[in-house]
Structure 1
């Protein structure tokens, strides 16, 4: 799979092409596209609407069109497939790697996907169907079935000959899985080891113990392991340790980038767009945000109800209302900091769900420390402006809210993982709503106790 990690196009080129599209000046577009690299062309296409993108893609030089198509997000590939002519689509689709085909098929209507699969050569159809057979979200769905393997009894020279014969269709040549007669994974050998060993050296003498992933394993987990271990390729095996594919490091990094984008979107209270921003229809942007906004708006009614319950307290001491934005904002920020830190730690496998009690203990101490610092400042400023009793209420409330928010914010991602829910979903939006309501309860209870209301 070939994905450009940094996709940019010169601003003047993009602007020129967009102006030429407005006047249907095709010669100018063709001239501007000719000197662009594949990554620059991708940057241009990502800024265009679906119809404009199909037109510009048709004007790309033939030798660069496939490379550009491979570098696009699967959602944009799907848009192009539905806009191009059947013969153009069949030509590009047949040239894709099997794992790239599967990502594209997931974005297409069933009828279109079936037709494309039917038009593939039998060998390519078999490889693609093998990847399609694994559950969505598993590493089997993202692996490449096009690999070069060797056998323990073969020599280094024979293995290099096998490699040379498959150079054109192999996903990677830098790491070779070693399998036995039943195709079970027994080791790996690097291209460097094969080239430095004497040609008659048996592979069994230079192979290393393999790291592998189960084909049904979560794709992000397997990709994280591949990246953490700095592996160029991670073999993927079935339940009987038979080799079924490989995950290359560039595919692993692409999976992790997708997961990071998804987490960041959900932490911010929206759904991931799954395509470049400028190429996303406005209705899709609205749809990605509106559900969360409705959920948060409903959750915010808890805060309104708390204020209604303590309406008489506010009438007796109106000055208390001045500090409500400060207190709920501080509590929400404290909880969000803890949740973001723990969500990231979970993604990096720094902590596990079984560490929930250790995390609670740490976050209680962190929250107390933060609360003591902010509470002291709040006490001094509020006492100077409104008197010591109000300062005491504000200081104690900040101490309590910071401790509670840090504890809840740290625990919620772990609890979410335990109940098999995306930790990002339980991060900032829900924690902010929870801390706002409970923080106000704490505030008014402290005010009643200290001020005798």
Structure 2
């Protein structure tokens, strides 16, 4: 079989690899894989079916296979674990860092996770178990227990010796926590400062006050702080300020990417896939969307009920029906804008549930101002096209709908956070459905009052 040059489109390369697997041309496939770099292999692996991916993985050199496995999404790691043989899985699992093992274990069935843990050497099993002991969404669950620490009385020279001794085992060496005799975190120092200092300089003269995260703190909040501080690693401590691990910047970015993917998906009315789109079975795509569609369909019955309740009003002034799509669309968009803005502010720590009244007042003013701008324009256009009365109804309704939608959209994420629900769940689809029904009530109430019907 003749293979395409690796510089061609990855879709073509993936199709070529699929044919090679189907025709059992494993020699040619191994030769083709040897011409691809790591990023190409990862991209192609995300385009193959599960069993094809497993065959491709088995043909990779051992070191390259480990690199690929470490970079895969946990969901794809789970599929590979399912398709590979027990010995291969145990070897790959043992080669992972403790925090990466926990990412994978969270995806695996309990029986398989337990079996893999039992196969680890005692030291590695203890490190992994220490991470597993923290709550599901805490930073303790995502930290690495493999780090280099030092004491305040150590000199720069002694610290460099410690770094060299642990350089192959530690998750990172660029940020060094400084601990006292009882392992309390008392400072932090960068490797750059250690290298710059005279070898006889004590660390207590070089270290700075540390930023840290409590092990039970929400992983997203700790990750965001690590990214904002631009720290190579954020120390993680227990309730008594004893160091238990570190959160590295790459793990912080990984956490934030995962959370943002989840929020984006739920704002669009689907569940996150947690794996590449082309590697996701059709049944999983359906499962990620159908529940939301059912929920939104049930919610849309509110709009139907409102229209039914005001059927007599529509019969008397049929022109009102022409503006229904415009008004509910404006209300939904206004609510979504407010919800997106406040959800983002929540993620950044700019606001919290305690600020609900301030957010409500602020969004009410924003909604009224936007409603006035749109309402004047709508009143003029509708008044010229139909009648001054219709124009006044449309103008007043836009003011009311924008004010209500902005207020609801701004407050709902705060309410969600207060009741410990993901704010994204209450975002765009849910708010649009709720605001549609509320906006129609406002519309018909104003129409009855202005037009006297």
TM-score, normalised relative to structure 1: 0.96
Correspondence for 1:370: 370
Correspondence for 1:162: 162
DSSP 3-state at the match of 1:430: helix
- The structural deviation recorded for 1:289 is 1.1
Correspondence for 1:270: 270
Correspondence for 2:416: 416
Is residue 188 of structure 2 the alignment partner of residue 188 of structure 1? yes
DSSP 3-state at the match of 1:131: helix
Map residues 341-420 of structure 1 onto 2, 5 A cutoff.
Answer: 341-420=341-420
DSSP 3-state at the match of 1:186: strand
Q: Distance in 2 between matches of 1:208 and 1:41?
A: 43
Q: Distance in 2 between matches of 1:377 and 1:24?
A: 68
Correspondence for 1:93: 93
Correspondence for 1:69: 69
Moved more, 357-366 or 269-278: 357-366
Map residues 222-237 of structure 1 onto 2, 5 A cutoff.
Answer: 222-237=222-237
DSSP 3-state at the match of 1:69: helix
Correspondence for 2:44: 44
Moved more, 133-142 or 281-290: 281-290
Maintained 8 Å contact 2:142/2:247:
yes
DSSP 3-state at the match of 1:245: strand
TM-aligned CA distance change 1:9 to 1:156, over 3 Å: farther
Moved more, 368-377 or 22-31: 22-31
Is residue 439 of structure 2 the alignment partner of residue 436 of structure 1? no
Provide structure 1 residue ranges, at least 5 long, that are not aligned to the other structure: 1-7
DSSP 3-state at the match of 1:246: strand
TM-aligned CA distance change 1:45 to 1:450, over 3 Å: same
- The structural deviation recorded for 1:9 is 7.9
- The structural deviation recorded for 1:61 is 2.1
DSSP 3-state at the match of 2:260: helix
TM-aligned CA distance change 1:244 to 1:9, over 3 Å: farther
Moved more, 149-158 or 282-291: 282-291
TM-aligned CA distance change 1:199 to 1:115, over 3 Å: same
Is residue 149 of structure 2 the alignment partner of residue 128 of structure 1? no
Q: Distance in 2 between matches of 1:315 and 1:25?
A: 72
Number of corresponding residues: 446
Q: Distance in 2 between matches of 1:373 and 1:186?
A: 56
Moved more, 42-51 or 141-150: 42-51
Q: Distance in 2 between matches of 1:268 and 1:415?
A: 20
Q: Distance in 2 between matches of 1:278 and 1:321?
A: 43
Correspondence for 1:83: 83
TM-score, normalised relative to structure 2: 0.96
- The structural deviation recorded for 1:271 is 1.1
* Runs of 4+ deviating beyond 6 Å: none
Maintained 8 Å contact 1:99/1:128:
yes
Moved more, 350-359 or 172-181: 350-359
The RMSD of aligned alpha carbons is 1.3
Correspondence for 1:279: 279
Q: Distance in 2 between matches of 1:424 and 1:165?
A: 46
Correspondence for 2:32: 32
Maintained 8 Å contact 2:66/2:92:
yes
Deviations 1:198-250 (A, max 9, x none): 11111111111111111111100110110111111000111111111000001
Deviations 1:422-441 (A, max 9, x none): 11111112211111111001
- The structural deviation recorded for 1:49 is 1.3
Q: Distance in 2 between matches of 1:23 and 1:396?
A: 69
Deviations 1:387-427 (A, max 9, x none): 11111111111111011111111111112112221111111
Q: Distance in 2 between matches of 1:409 and 1:63?
A: 50
Maintained 8 Å contact 1:176/1:191:
yes
Maintained 8 Å contact 1:9/1:43:
no
DSSP 3-state at the match of 1:187: strand
Moved more, 164-173 or 15-24: 15-24
Q: Distance in 2 between matches of 1:366 and 1:428?
A: 18
